[in-house]
Structures are given as structure tokens and as C-alpha cells.
């Protein structure tokens, strides 16, 4: 099938963004009705240490994709019974954008305009059979690198640099659909606005670096106290917003009370000191109101917590 091989066969590449990508971590789905050709492509991929899944037609490929959400690349034939590569590409693109899964078309079809047809349907790249092995590897690397760049951009634009929590922009993208789903399912979620007490004194006493260290440690504590599916975000300077559930009022209040106690008990090592802080929290349960309305109420309660003497939860 191939003409000539050259180049090294390392199992990782340093991408254009300077990050190391291990092929071991990349799952590839190979779709072809020819067992022989599937084996060949699989062999080429395994030689570069990729994890490989195989499907003999588009229907099976779609099934595998639903089970394996971490597939990053599909290598697909064009002419296949039941569902063509063209249909498969269209189907895949209904569920996954080009920034989630790369698709490389592979075909020996002499049909006019096959390449353009596949690319227009949403394939990222195309190779005509027979192909050169090294070109195959290069195209795979190029396409995976683009996905990796998308992932980095996405992560950077959704994350707060100092605390690594989600940022405010991401919060407002994710929270409305979370609330909508909850309302549709008849569930309630808790939204908690949190603000560190007298944080200016931390900065005054320990400098900005001391303040930053407190923010990092408080953020880590928040991440540790909530689950990965909860929305833990840094809203502003020393203000955090967490959405969690489904949960009822009393359980949410108990959870936040535990959090408040855990934060107050922290001794954050900085230089020769152990910094201690407290946090005030305002909570509001989602009840079909808009995100903005819920935040407004939680904010008012946070204000009451501050006025009531700080280091407390108002719900």
C-alpha cells in the first residue's frame, strides 16, 4: 500500500504550541468495510502508539463514538455499505465540532469530487489511497495539533489564571443551561456568592503575593469541597460563585456551613506566617428564576452576611 518510509517513529511529538502530546493518550477510530485495509491502518497507528478502535461501517462507528467520548480522530473510508463515509461525516458533525474530533477521509474512489464532498461535509483532511505512510502520519499529527490548540484556547478562555477556577465568562455560558435543565427536570440548584472577609487586610499585612496565595488556597479548598460537575468559579477579585445540585435548601445550607467552617479553620502558610481568613456567603436556590435574578438575591444575602458580622452564611 505504501511507497516508502522515512523519519523517526517516536511516540510523541512536541506540538507548535510547545506542549508534549503523547499518542498513548489519543484514541483513534478507524472506519472501513475492508478488513485488510482496516488492519493496515490500525497497524500504522499502533506503531505510533495510538489507541485504536475499529468499525466496519458508519452505523457501528457512531455507536462506538457514543460509548467512547474521548475519540479525537476518525480515519474513515468513503465507500462503505449501509452508511457512506460522507453520511458518517455529516452525522459526526451533528454531534461533535471540528475542535473536538478531527476526521481524515481515506478513499480510492474515482468518483468525481469525492475530496471536496467529504471536506464540505465536515472532514478536516483527505488522503487518496494508496498513500505514503509518512504523509499519513504528518496529516494525523497536523490535525491532532489543531485540536490540541483548540483545547488550549478553550481552557485558557474559560479559566482564571491565578486560581485555575472557571472564570466569570464561562460561568455565564454554563449556568443558564444548567438552570434550564434543572427547571425542566423539576430540580433545584443552589447558587452561592462568596466573598473573603477583610481581604484588604491580607494584602496590607502580607503583600499582594500573600493575598494571591490565599486566593489560590481558598480556590483549592472550594474545588475539594465540591464535585467536578459543580460550577465553581472566580467571579472577581476575592469573590467566588458556586452552583451545585440538584439539592434542597437545607442540604445546601448545611454544605455551605461546613465549607465556611473549613475555610475558617485553614492556616495558609506564607513566608513565615500562617494566614487565617474567613468567608461570608449568600445563598439562593434556583426556582425557575433567571440566573441574573438568582445572583441578585444571593448578592443581597451576602451583603446581609457582611452586615451581620461576617464569617456566616445567609440563605
Shortest separation between residue 182's beta carbon and Mg ion, angstroms: 27
Residue 211 interacting partner from ligand GH3, Mg ion, none (CB closer than 5 to 8 Å by kind): ligand GH3
Cis peptide before 246 (omega within 30 of 0): yes
- CA of residue 231 relative to chain centroid, distance: 12
Shortest separation between residue 239's beta carbon and ligand GH3, angstroms: 8
Binding-site size for ligand GH3 (CB under 6 A) equals 16
Q: Is 18 helix (H, G, I), strand (E, B) or coil?
A: coil
Q: Which is nearer to ligand GH3, 126 or 240 (CB)?
A: 240
Shortest separation between residue 188's beta carbon and Mg ion, angstroms: 27
Of residues 40, 51, 59, 79, which one binds Mg ion by CB under 5 A? 79
* Contact track, Mg ion, 116-135, x by CB under 5 A: ---------x----------
Q: Cα dist. 130→111, 126, 202, 261, 274 in Å?
A: 15, 12, 67, 66, 66
DSSP single-letter state for residue 125: E
238 is an active site residue: yes
Residues 27-46 that bind Mg ion (CB under 5 A): 33
DSSP single-letter state for residue 252: H
Nearest-angstrom CA–CA distance, 233 and 40: 47
Residue 306 interacting partner from ligand GH3, Mg ion, none (CB closer than 5 to 8 Å by kind): ligand GH3
* Contact track, ligand GH3, 205-224, x by CB under 6 A: ---x--xx--x---------
Who's near 5: CB < 8 A, 6+ residues apart?
133, 134
Q: Is 197 in the site for ligand GH3 (CB under 6 A)?
A: yes
The three three-digit cell numbers of residue 302, written as one number:
451576602
Who's near 208: CB < 8 A, 6+ residues apart?
none
Nearest-angstrom CA–CA distance, 221 and 116: 51
Shortest separation between residue 223's beta carbon and Mg ion, angstroms: 20
Of residues 81, 176, 237, 288, which one binds ligand GH3 by CB under 6 A? 237
DSSP single-letter state for residue 159: B
Judging by beta carbons within 10 Å of its beta carbon (0-12, 13-18, 19+), is residue 90 exposed, middle or buried?
A: middle
Selected catalytic residue, list 238, 257, 271, 293: 238
The three three-digit cell numbers of residue 237, written as one number:
477579585
Residue 162 interacting partner from Mg ion, ligand GH3, none (CB closer than 5 to 8 Å by kind): ligand GH3
Q: Which is nearer to ligand GH3, 279 or 315 (CB)?
A: 279
Residues 78-97 that bind ligand GH3 (CB under 6 A): none
State residue 146 phi and psi, 5-degree precision.
-65, -45
Q: Is 309 in the site for ligand GH3 (CB under 6 A)?
A: no
Catalytically active residues, by annotation = 238
User: Which stretches of the chain bind ligand GH3, using CB under 6 A?
Assistant: 162, 195-200, 203, 208, 211-212, 215, 237-238, 306, 310
Amino acid at each position: 500500500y505504501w511507497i516508502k518510509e522515512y523519519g523517526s517513529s517516536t511516540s510523541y511529538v512536541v506540538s507548535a504550541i510547545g506542549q508534549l502530546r503523547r499518542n498513548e493518550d489519543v484514541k483513534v477510530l478507524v472506519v472501513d468495510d475492508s478488513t485488510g485495509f482496516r488492519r493496515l491502518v490500525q497497524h500504522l497507528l499502533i506503531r505510533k502508539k495510538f489507541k485504536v478502535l475499529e468499525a466496519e461501517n458508519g452505523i457501528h462507528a457512531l455507536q462506538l463514538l457514543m460509548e467512547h467520548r474521548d475519540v479525537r480522530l476518525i480515519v474513515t473510508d468513503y465507500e462503505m455499505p449501509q452508511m457512506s463515509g460522507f453520511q458518517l461525516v455529516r452525522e459526526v458533525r451533528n454531534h461533535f465540532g471540528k475542535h473536538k474530533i478531527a476526521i481524515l477521509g481515506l478513499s480510492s474512489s474515482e468518483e468525481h469530487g469525492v475530496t471536496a464532498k467529504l471536506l464540505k461535509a465536515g472532514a478536516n483532511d483527505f488522503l487518496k489511497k494508496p498513500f505514503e505512510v509518512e504523509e499519513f502520519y504528518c496529516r494525523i499529527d497536523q490535525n491532532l495539533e489543531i485540536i490540541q490548540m483548540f483545547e488550549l484556547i478553550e481552557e485558557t478562555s474559560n479559566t482564571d489564571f491565578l486560581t485555575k477556577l472557571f472564570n466569570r465568562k464561562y460561568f455565564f455560558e454554563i449556568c443558564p443551561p444548567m438552570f434550564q435543565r434543572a427547571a425542566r427536570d423539576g430540580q433545584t440548584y443552589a447558587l452561592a456568592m462568596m466573598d473573603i472577609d477583610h481581604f484588604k487586610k491580607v494584602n496590607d499585612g502580607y503583600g499582594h503575593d500573600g493575598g494571591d496565595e490565599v486566593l489560590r488556597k481558598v480556590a483549592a479548598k472550594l474545588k475539594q469541597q465540591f464535585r467536578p460537575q459543580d460550577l465553581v468559579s472566580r467571579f472577581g477579585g476575592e469573590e467566588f460563585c458556586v452552583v451545585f445540585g440538584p439539592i434542597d435548601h437545607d442540604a445546601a445550607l448545611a454544605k455551605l456551613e461546613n465549607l465556611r467552617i473549613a475555610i475558617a479553620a485553614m492556616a495558609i502558610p506564607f513566608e513565615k506566617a500562617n494566614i487565617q481568613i474567613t468567608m461570608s456567603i449568600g445563598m439562593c436556590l434556583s426556582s425557575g428564576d433567571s440566573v441574573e435574578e438568582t445572583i441578585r438575591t444571593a448578592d443581597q444575602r451576602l451583603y446581609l452576611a457582611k452586615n451581620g458580622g461576617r464569617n456566616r452564611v445567609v440563605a
